[in-house]
Amino acid sequence: MDADCPRLVVEHENLLTSLAGALSFHDLQFESEAFNDEYHVRCEVPKFANDVLDARMMEWLLHNGSGYVFEAVGDHLLVAGPRIQPAELLDLLGVARGFTQHVPKVVSSLYPG
């Protein structure tokens, strides 16, 4: 990624993340209820998460991020998902590229690498 990112994790809501929320380990909330219902977001710097996860990125994640966990640290992005066959690697790389392409341009100027 073209930025110096504090640790950001975007993962799907599941039983453990819902339980953590109930125990007041709240994840970050955004203006999209659909996104909040689908994703659990953690970030060391909440403003960074808000800068990265704008309306365009949330919409992209809702349509393309199913089954993946995204983690950014420094200038690195990790995209994790289920075990895949070698022929499916291009799809995984496409998801990683799609995520980086949807990071708002302002992020690289606010968090220069």
Delimit the domains of the chain by residue range: 5-110
**Residue 92 confidence class, pLDDT cut points 50, 70, 90:** very high
First to last CA, the chain: 9
pLDDT at 84 over 70: yes
Mean pLDDT across the chain: 91
The runs of H, that is alpha helices, within the chain are: 15-22, 33-38, 46-52, 55-64, 89-102, 106-110
Q: Has residue 80 got a pLDDT over 90?
A: yes
Is the pTM higher than 0.85? The answer reads yes
What's the average model confidence in pLDDT over 41-68?
Answer: 97
Q: Coil, strand or helix: which one is 68?
A: coil
Residue 113 has what pLDDT?
Answer: 82
Grade residue 16 by pLDDT with cuts at 50, 70 and 90. Answer: low
pLDDT of residue 5 exceeding 70:
yes
Report whether pLDDT(12) > 80: yes
Question: Residue 32: how many CB atoms within 10 A of its CB?
Answer: 16
Percentage of the residues of the chain whose pLDDT score is greater than 70? 88
Higher pLDDT, 25 or 82: 82
